[in-house]
Chain A
């Protein structure tokens, strides 16, 4: 199997879906000629032309809104928000329109749009190029939020998002783009949206997380294995709606649960995961549910010490895992 980076997996999913179905097109700021500021849409302009790799005016509400209109017409738009931080002007379109179209039309209309956005910090992006925004959308029925952690998942889930008949927000960790590499099959494949995935089998402690933090947890788990601590790692992959069954199963497996997110702690995705576990697993738990998250301050300062301090990393994860194991 060829090895590719996370961003190459994204690009190849887009390319293959555009080859497979001519209703698929990408739109966004700088996605055409420039190939995207991170080069996620590199080569699409040359292969598919300016109408399928559409450089739009600088207006996120229009990028989402025009995409929604085209999706309701029957197209398969993949809208790019240049940075997740800049999705804010499009929130009205995404929440008030995309999320509700099927419901408020009595199933007469649907909105098969995919909205991609790079999120997360650790790249000296400062306050407006580092945020995690998933929690903003994670209480909006009608939406699906996918946050893959590996190149393999990124490709299979992006294809699934494009083929999905409902709106999908697809958040890609920008530090993962070039940091993470992995094997990706050459053949066409899709992965199920709404299903979590066990990334490591273990019996002592359970880690539930998503996105780049999965990578940190895996790194920490390898180190702890040498000390005889065996970690079970569940990757949520879809953070809304959550895969409750997989969460309950993973929590019951070891009875000691650590939840990790890079996002601010209060009101985060993992808070909901903690609620599910406390509802279903009270008598299976051997320790209080632990949450490791970013501090509750705006994400994230740029000054070197502060950014480093805000960001999740394998050391922080390892420490929290060891503490839980020793509980």
Chain B
């Protein structure tokens, strides 16, 4: 089946353009936007990891190595589209417009961190696996029914393809031809379980055949192919062409979370040949006259400042109020819950 679903690439590991016909699609603005956002979320990710080590935030699932997949796909979205991310997709969320201070706040255990900026349709990250796929079909179905051109994108990993909700969401979307992009980041590992233990299929993209929808397998570490193929699928969805399954092949550079130790199940050689997606883009930029050392350094500085300021704002955010524990269980809290709250507060004051 890999024959039917060859992995599409636009640039190789050395940053060389593999197909000149793509040249028209790549312009300076796009190249710099991709670089800016990939470097931005990398800076965020490394900072988050170090904050966790210092005990300043909680357990954290790094997305290092998946920047091209997350940025390329998120930049292809329109402002009014829907995003249904997982806990490892904060890079995509930040790129789509999530607030960085709030993102840190989320990883510090605060529900306030799930609130997107006004008007941004970003769902709270799904922690149970694959539950967000039917949601993405549902939101897109509602947009279709309403007659808008808005689409939804669901992010999910390779492990999620084993869950029932994967099938149910894909099937529903295909039956009702909802404008949904099922964006899979195949990072090869679900905690300790490698992809060949997850499925017997050669590719995830080929699963699209069973739903009668378009499927494409792309190099998830090539930001250009991610951006252009996602854009293509989005345009099709917007114009009534229904859902698409995209398999972005990438690599989880680090651990599943900061609580995981991958040396228990992966050896050092694994992934050694994977070229960092940011390095790949840098090489392309250098090869093609897009690289400006001075400008790059100033971007790095600018992003460092942004991240530091976000951390500072997160850390000076008002502490959680115990009283809030009882809020937002229902739109209208039942009497007994209000009484329970009163009683708890009374005990606390004693």
* Residues of A in contact with B (beta carbons under 8 Å apart): 29-30, 32-35, 37, 55-62, 85-86, 88-89, 124, 126-128, 265-266, 295-298, 301-307, 309-310, 319
Nearest residue (CB) in B for A37 is B191
* A57-B197, A57-B198 as given contacts; A126 in contact with B109, CB under 8 Å: yes
**Cβ of B119 < 8 Å from any Cβ of A?**
no
Bound together, the chains give a CA A55 to CA B143 distance in angstroms of 40
Q: Evaluate whether A55 and B197 lie within 8 angstroms (CB atoms) in the complex, with A85-B128, A89-B165 already known.
A: yes
21 CB-based A-B contacts, threshold 8 Å = A30-B192, A30-B193, A35-B264, A57-B159, A57-B198, A58-B160, A58-B162, A58-B163, A59-B163, A59-B164, A62-B162, A85-B128, A88-B128, A89-B128, A124-B58, A128-B127, A296-B329, A297-B337, A305-B322, A306-B325, A309-B322
- Tell me the nearest residue of chain A to B259, going by C-beta: A37
Q: Across the interface, do A57 and B193 meet the contact criterion of CB distance under 8 Å? A: yes
CB-CB under 8 A from A319, the residues of chain B are 347
Q: Would you call A295 and B198 a contact (CB within 8 A)?
A: no
Find A306's partner among B162, B322, B329, B348 (CB 8 Å cutoff).
B322
Residues of B within 8 A of A61 (CB): 163-164
Q: Which of A58, A85, A265, A301 contacts B198 (CB 8 A)?
A: A58
Give the residue name and chain of the B residue nearest to A39 (CB): B264
List residues of B (191-208) whose CB comes within 8 Å of A's CBs.
Answer: 191-193, 197-199
The 7 closest A-B pairs by CB, nearest first: A302-B109, A303-B320, A58-B159, A34-B192, A57-B162, A128-B127, A59-B162
Contact assessment for A303 and B191 in the assembled complex, using a CB-CB cutoff below 8 Å: no
Contact A301–B162 (Cβ < 8 Å): no
* Closest residue of B by beta carbon distance from A298: B329
In the bound assembly, the distance between CA atoms of A319 and B347 in angstroms comes to 10
Tell me whether B128 and A303 are in contact (CB under 8 A).
Answer: no
Contact of A304 with B325 at beta-carbon distance under 8 Å, contacts A57-B199, A86-B128, A128-B127 already known: no
> Any chain A CB within 8 A of the CB of B148?
no
CA distance A307 to B59 in the complex (A): 15
Question: B143-180 vs A: 1/0 string, CB under 8 Å?
Answer: 00000000000000001101111000000000000000
In Å, the complex CA distance between A124 and B192 comes to: 22
Shortest B344–chain A CB gap in Å is 6
Identity of the chain B residue whose Cβ is nearest the Cβ of A316 in the assembled complex: B347
In B176-235, the 8 Å CB interface with A consists of 190-193, 197-199
Interface mask (B104-117 → A, CB under 8 Å = 1, otherwise 0): 00001111000000
Give the Cβ gap from B68 to chain A, nearest Cβ, in Å.
Answer: 24
Partner of B193, one of A58, A266, A304: A58
Question: How many Å lie between the Cα of A56 and that of B108 in the bound state?
Answer: 31
Which residues of B lie under 8 Å from residue A126 when comparing CB positions?
A: 58, 109, 127
User: Which residues of A lie under 8 Å from residue B336 when comparing CB positions?
Assistant: 266, 296
Q: How far is the CB of A11 from chain B (nearest CB, A)?
A: 15
**B163 adjacent to A89 (CB under 8 Å):** yes
List of B residues within 8 angstroms of A305 by Cβ = 319-322
B325 touches A295 (CB 8 A): yes
Interface 0/1 of B310-350, CB less than 8 Å to A: 00000000011110111001000000110011001001100
**Could you tell me if A301 and B265 are in contact, using CB atoms closer than 8 angstroms?**
no
Distance of A32 Cα from B190 Cα, bound (Å):
13
Contacts A33-B264, A306-B325: A301 and B111 contacting too (C-beta < 8 A)? yes
Q: Does any Cβ of A come within 8 Å of B129's Cβ?
A: yes
| Given A34-B264, A89-B164, A128 and B128 contact (CB-CB distance below 8 Å) | yes
Q: Does B198 contact A296, Cβ atoms closer than 8 Å?
A: no
- Which residues of chain B come closer than 8 Å to A128, judged between CB atoms? 127-128
**Chain A residues in 8 Å Cβ range of B326:** 295, 297
Report A-chain residues with C-beta under 8 Å of the C-beta of B348.
309
How many Å from the CB of B161 to the closest CB on chain A?
Answer: 8
| A301 to B, closest residue via Cβ | B325
Besides the known contacts A30-B192, A34-B265, A89-B163, 7 further A-B residue pairs in the complex with CB atoms under 8 A apart = A29-B191, A29-B193, A30-B191, A303-B110, A303-B111, A304-B109, A306-B324
In whole angstroms, how far apart are the Cα atoms of A57 and B259 in the complex?
A: 21
Q: How far is the CA of A304 from the CA of B108 in the complex (A)?
A: 9
Contact B329 A297 (CB under 8 A): yes
Of A59, A86, A88, A303, which contacts B109 at CB under 8 A? A303
How many Å lie between the Cα of A304 and that of B160 in the bound state? 30
A80 to chain B, nearest CB (A): 13
| Measured CA separation A266–B339 after assembly (Å) | 13
CA distance A298 to B159 in the complex (A): 26
Bound-state CA distance A310–B163 (Å) is 31
* B160, A302: Cβ atoms closer than 8 Å: no
The complex places the Cα of A295 from the Cα of B323 at a distance, in Å, of 12
Given contacts A30-B192, A58-B159, A127-B127, contact A306 B197 (CB under 8 A): no
| Alpha-carbon distance between A251 and B128 when the two chains are bound, in angstroms | 40
Chain A residues within 8 Å of B260, by CB: 37
Separation in Å of the B24 CB from the closest CB of chain A? 41
Kindly state the separation between the CA atoms of A174 and B347 in the bound complex, as whole angstroms.
Answer: 28
Contacts of B191 in A (CB 8 A): 29-30, 34, 37
Max chain A CB contacts within 10 Å: which of B191, B319, B326?
Answer: B191
**B contact residues around A265 at 8 Å (CB):** 340
Q: Is the CB of A55 within 8 A of B320?
A: no
Contact across chains for B109 and A124 when beta carbons are under 8 A apart? yes
The closest CB in chain A to the CB of B108 belongs to: A303
- Report B169 CB to chain A, min CB distance, Å: 13
Closest beta carbon of chain B to A222's beta carbon, Å: 23
CB pair A33 B128 closer than 8 Å = no
Residues 250-267 of B contacting A (Cβ, < 8 Å): 259-260, 264-265
The answer to whether B190 touches A301, judged by C-beta atoms less than 8 angstroms apart, is no
B340 / chain A contacts, CB cutoff of 8 Å: 265, 295-296
State how many angstroms separate the Cβ of B255 from the closest Cβ of chain A.
Answer: 11
Chain A residue with the shortest CB-CB distance to B266: A33
A127 neighbours in B (Cβ, 8 Å): 127
Least CB distance, B303 to chain A, in whole angstroms: 28
B324: chain A residues within 8 A (beta carbon): 306
Cross-chain contact B129 with A58 (CB below 8 angstroms): yes
A295 near B344: Cβ-Cβ < 8 Å: yes
Asked if A302 and B58 sit within 8 Å, CB to CB, the answer is yes
